[in-house]
Every structure is written in C-alpha cells, then in structure tokens.
Amino acid sequence: MTGRAGGAGRTDGRTGRVAVVTGAARGIGAATVLALAEQGWAVLAVDLARDDPALPYPMGSRAELDAVVDAANRTAGEVSAYVADVRDPAELAAAVAEAERRWGGLDAAIAAAGVIAGGAPLWQMPPEQERAVLDVDLGGVVNLARAAIPALLRRPRPRSGRFLAVASAAATRGLPMLAAYCAAKAGVAGLIRALGAELGGTGVTANAVSPGSTDTPILAESARLYGLPAADSFAAQQPVHRLLDPGEIAAVLAFLAGPGSSAMTGSVVPVDGGLAL
C-alpha cells in the first residue's frame, strides 16, 4: 500500500496522518496518543508493557496501554497497541513496519519512552540501572530515529514528516543523584539538533520538548529517590508554582507534529513552567 491512508475528503474526522508513539502506556506518551487521536491521527501506541527487573519501580502495564488505546478510539482517531522494547532496534523497526502496513505510511514518530533511576552519586549507582536509563532514554530515541526516519522519507514529496522526542529540563540542569538521567536527556537534545541539520531540505523535521516537573510516574519515582513525601514537593521550584499536567506537554508535541511547526527544526522547546528561567 502506498500514499496516505484516507487522505483528503474524509468525513469521519480523520486526517490520514499516521504516527508512532513510544512510552504510550502512561504519562506524556499516553497523553500524546490521546492528543493526536483527538486531532484525527492514526496512531500505533508502543510500550514495553511490563516491568524492568533492573528498575525498582513499576513500568507501564499492558492494561494501562489498552486503556489508553480504548480511550483514544473513542475520539476521531484510530489507535492500535503494539508491545515493543525501545532498546531493541529490530522491535522498533517491526513497529514502524506495522504502522506502514496498517495505514500506508508514516508522518510522525514521537519518542516519549523514558525511565529514571539514581538516588546516589554516579559512581555508586548500580550499573544495571545506569544502563537502563541510558539505553531507554537516549538509546531508545536513537533506535526510533533509525527505524522511523527512513519511513518518514518514504512519503512522496512534498512531505511533512516529523521526528519528535521528549528531552527534559535535566538536559541543561545538573541534578544531583540523577547523573545518568541528565546525561541521557542532554544526549537527546544534541541528537535532535544534529538530526535537524541532517534532515535539511527533505521535508522532514526533528524537534523536541523539554518538560519541567510533570505529574507522571517518573516524577513520583524522583520524589522517592530524593526522600521527598510526594511529587508535589517539586512544584515550588517552578515559577508557575504547580506541577505540569502531561496533557500540557502533549499539546505542544501535537503542535510540533502538525503543519504549524513547518518552520521549526533542531529545536528543543521548553515546556517547563518556567523552570529553566
């Protein structure tokens, strides 16, 4: 199958645009699936959907992934679940191939899968936790780029593909006891800038968002690592004096996935409640 699935002239609210979103079971990934579906996208919602023995807190579950898909399919979009590990390039390549097979092509790939670990200086951090953070938070973005960008480029000209990633305020702030996480997110920001340069003139762009303290399971785990009573403890560090909602980050990702971002590439957009000020 070639060309855009559905295309112009649809009357069911769908745009004919297709996305792959990783980390889709919860947090920013789940909110992004919902935001795109509400705008009429077809979305392959990708998640590991099981716990990681290297990490001391629960990952998103298959039940959570299915709940996101069910909610998204009650909107204007068409969403399917897909279980894959972003650390495995072959699994992500298969996910991209499934999106192309199902809907005829790919218009956006959004790397939202992320984990956190730390709570100790880097030299005391268990090596398996360090590897998990680097391999998911940076390696997973690289793996999605390698799988998805060729698919974005397979769209005929004039194309408007989007490769997007979730960085973090930790990309530019040195956070004690989270050195691996800071390193991974700084790597994501550098990767996006390089991809923006490499993709120049192709019609495909690369951008990222850099969230502040957002009400997600990662922030809850961060609070535990710092010995704080709850994630709300982080609200005071942001000028908006509250935690951000995942939907607020997803709204910017949905904008970046759409035509309005056509003049942007290589950008890392702060969506941080002023945390970086």
* pLDDT score at 8: 40
Domain count, the chain: 1
**Residue 261 and residue 207 in contact, taking contact as beta carbons nearer than 8 Å:** yes
Please give the helix or strand (H or E) that residue 191 lies within, else none: helix 179-198
* pLDDT score at 3: 34
- Quote the CA–CA distance of 186 and 214 in Å, as a whole number: 18
Domain range for 41 is 18-271
Residue 207 lies in a domain: yes
Q: Which structure tokens are listed for 159?
A: 């194309």
**Residue 21 and residue 44 in contact, taking contact as beta carbons nearer than 8 Å:** yes
Q: Which structure tokens are listed for 200?
A: 């120049």
* pLDDT score at 1: 28
Residue 170 lies in a domain: yes
Instruction: Give the orientation angle of helix 179-198 with respect to helix 140-154, to 10 degrees.
Output: 20
DSSP string, 122-177: GGGS-HHHHHHHHIIIIIHHHHHHHHHHHHHHHSPSSP--EEEEE--GGGTS--TT
Q: pLDDT (tens digit, 0 to 9) for every residue of the chain, 277 residues total?
A: 233 333 444 446 888 999 999 999 999 999 999 999 999 999 999 999 999 999 999 999 999 999 999 999 999 999 999 999 999 999 999 999 999 999 999 999 999 999 999 999 999 999 999 999 999 999 999 999 999 999 999 999 999 999 999 999 999 999 999 999 999 999 999 999 999 999 999 999 999 999 999 999 999 999 999 999 999 999 999 999 999 999 999 999 999 999 999 999 999 999 999 998 8
Instruction: Give 90's contacts (C-beta < 8 A, 6+ positions apart).
Output: none
Residues 257, 260, 262, CA angle at the centre, nearest 5°? 80
Residue 100 lies in a domain: yes
> Is 181 labeled as catalytic in the residue annotation?
yes
* pLDDT score at 2: 31
- Quote the CA–CA distance of 183 and 114 in Å, as a whole number: 13
Cα-Cα-Cα-Cα dihedral sign, residues 188, 251, 106, 78: positive
* pLDDT score at 162: 99
Q: Please name every residue paired with 110 in a beta bridge, in sequence order, or none if there are none.
A: 21, 164
Choosing from 57, 82, 181, 226, the catalytic residue is 181
Residue 6 lies in a domain: no
Residue 31 lies in a domain: yes
> In angstroms, what CA-CA distances link 244 with 28, 99, 142, 239, 254?
11, 31, 26, 11, 16
Q: Is 26 helix (H, G, I), strand (E, B) or coil?
A: coil
Residue 172 lies in a domain: yes
* pLDDT score at 277: 86
- Quote the CA–CA distance of 130 and 125 in Å, as a whole number: 7
Q: What is the CATH number of the domain that holds 211?
A: 3.40.50.720
Residue 10 lies in a domain: no
Residue that the structure tokens 């004039």 belong to? 158
Residue 63 lies in a domain: yes
Nearest to 59 by CA among 214, 221, 182, 234: 221
